[in-house]
């Protein structure tokens, strides 16, 4: 049995945060149905990029489409909305990631769907949420981490902020926060018998992730400046260093006993009592810079890793894929595809002792299950053909 087996999710989202959320739910066993607009029904529709000339291959390698089914509906058509309402009657969750107001115009908003199914958990995932002065403002991850306060803390002094991929807002503050909130709402439903509306703003999620640093600011009035604080580049013992092979190694020796081991192994035990004396940090940094240039990255990892020092090699992604710890933890999984053979996907992070999550299938192409899903609703072949002919389904 899978942790979320038996729960049905209708996913209306398109861009990365929503599909990441439903990937997490589907990995946990939820039956996720992608309700996708036919390409002709959406202006500026982004399509799956062809890979080796095959959209099917691109879909197969897409982790956001794995463990899911896909139905194409043009919700501007009344007959398509009726299909969605039928699906909603038997669903547990609706997830959408459109700009505020779009689902209401389409007639698939929370008020409408909860009137059909009061037990529905309806999650709207957007940049700035469903209210407030920025409700109509467009944006992406870089904008949400700016408003949330994270981007201004990342980088080096007197240089422009460093853009940390789209991890903080899209995936952590957005998709993962939404998945957590959905499961929480499902647990609440067990007590109340009612579903509810969940409003996820990625900018909110970013600020939520900064809770520890917010607490420090509220207590002391001091905020994190780029590259000037313990955890963002100022401390020599929580930093990265170039090695003899032009690669990089990371140190995280914050605790005194770890720092003492680092000092001993790099030949400067006299640094040990002065770990948090910032006046000595430039000298420490210079020493570590010179020391780490004397051996290769992997040599240093072997030496320090065996001596109780917080250390790790800085990998590029292919190296991370081949790392023995990541392999042992099954963070790379392999699936067989009938046409493309062995396909690798990133594995599932949470590990359960009993109800174990599983990557069960590769990514599905848009509309692959339209006939199947409509058939499950009792639609005849002729009726399905009529929906396709009218452009309501594809």
- DSSP code at position 270: G
> How far is it, in rounded angstroms, from Cα 301 to Cα 177?
34
- DSSP code at position 63: G
> How far is it, in rounded angstroms, from Cα 149 to Cα 193?
38
> How far is it, in rounded angstroms, from Cα 256 to Cα 267?
16
What's the half-sphere exposure (Cβ side, CA atoms, 13 Å) at 8? 13
Active site residue 131: no
**Among residues 27, 62, 141, 170, which one is catalytic?**
170
- Is residue 308 within 8 Å of 257, Cβ to Cβ? yes
For the chain, how are helix, strand and coil distributed in percent, rounded to 5?
A: 45, 15, 40
Q: Which of 130, 125, 107, 110 is nearest to 195 (CA)?
A: 110
> How far is it, in rounded angstroms, from Cα 100 to Cα 136?
7
Query: What are the CA-CA distances from residue 341 to residues 50, 55, 69, 158, 335 (Å)?
Result: 18, 16, 20, 50, 8
DSSP labels, 201-248: EHHHHHHHHTHHHHHHHHHHS--PPTT-STTTT--TTSSEEE-TTS-E
Active site residue 274: no
Beta strand pairing call for 31-36 and 68-72: parallel
Element (H, E) at 375: helix 370-376
Q: Just list the catalytic residues.
A: 140, 170
């Amino acid at each position: 049995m899978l942790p979320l087996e038996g729960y049905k999710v209708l996913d209306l989202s398109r861009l990365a945060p929503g599909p990441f959320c439903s990937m997490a739910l589907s990995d946990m066993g939820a039956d996720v149905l992608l309700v996708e607009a036919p390409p002709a029904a959406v202006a500026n529709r982004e399509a799956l990029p062809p890979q080796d000339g095959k959209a099917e291959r691109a879909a197969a390698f897409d982790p956001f489409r794995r463990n899911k089914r896909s139905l194409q509906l043009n919700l501007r058509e009344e007959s398509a909305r009726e299909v969605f309402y039928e699906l909603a009657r038997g669903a547990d969750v609706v997830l959408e990631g459109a700009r505020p107001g779009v689902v209401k115009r389409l007639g698939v908003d929370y008020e409408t769907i909860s009137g059909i199914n009061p037990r529905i958990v309806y999650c709207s995932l957007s940049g700035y949420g469903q209210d407030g002065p920025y409700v109509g403002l467009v944006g992406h991850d870089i904008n949400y981490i700016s408003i949330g306060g994270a981007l201004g803390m990342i980088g080096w002094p007197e240089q422009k902020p460093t853009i940390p991929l789209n991890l903080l807002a899209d995936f952590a503050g957005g998709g993962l926060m939404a998945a957590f909130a959905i499961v929480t709402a499902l647990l609440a439903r067990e007590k109340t018998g009612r579903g509810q509306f969940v409003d996820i703003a990625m900018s909110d999620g970013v600020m939520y992730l900064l809770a520890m640093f917010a607490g420090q600011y509220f207590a002391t009035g001091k905020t994190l400046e780029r590259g000037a604080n313990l955890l963002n580049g100022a401390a020599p013992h929580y930093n990265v260093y170039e090695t003899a092979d032009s690669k990089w190694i990371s140190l995280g020796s914050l605790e005194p006993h770890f720092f003492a081991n680092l000092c001993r192994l790099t030949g400067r035990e006299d640094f040990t009592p002065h770990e948090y004396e910032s006046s000595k940090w430039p000298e420490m940094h210079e020493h570590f810079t010179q020391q780490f240039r004397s051996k290769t990255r992997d040599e240093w990892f072997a030496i320090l890793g065996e001596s109780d020092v917080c250390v790790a090699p800085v990998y590029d992604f292919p190296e991370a894929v081949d790392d023995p710890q990541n392999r042992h933890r099954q963070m790379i999984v392999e699936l067989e595809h009938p046409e493309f053979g062995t396909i690798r996907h990133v594995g599932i992070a949470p590990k359960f002792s009993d109800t174990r999550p599983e990557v069960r299938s590769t990514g599905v192409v848009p509309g692959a299950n339209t006939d199947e899903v409509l058939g499950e609703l009792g639609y005849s072949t002729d009726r399905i053909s009529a929906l396709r002919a009218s452009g309501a389904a594809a």
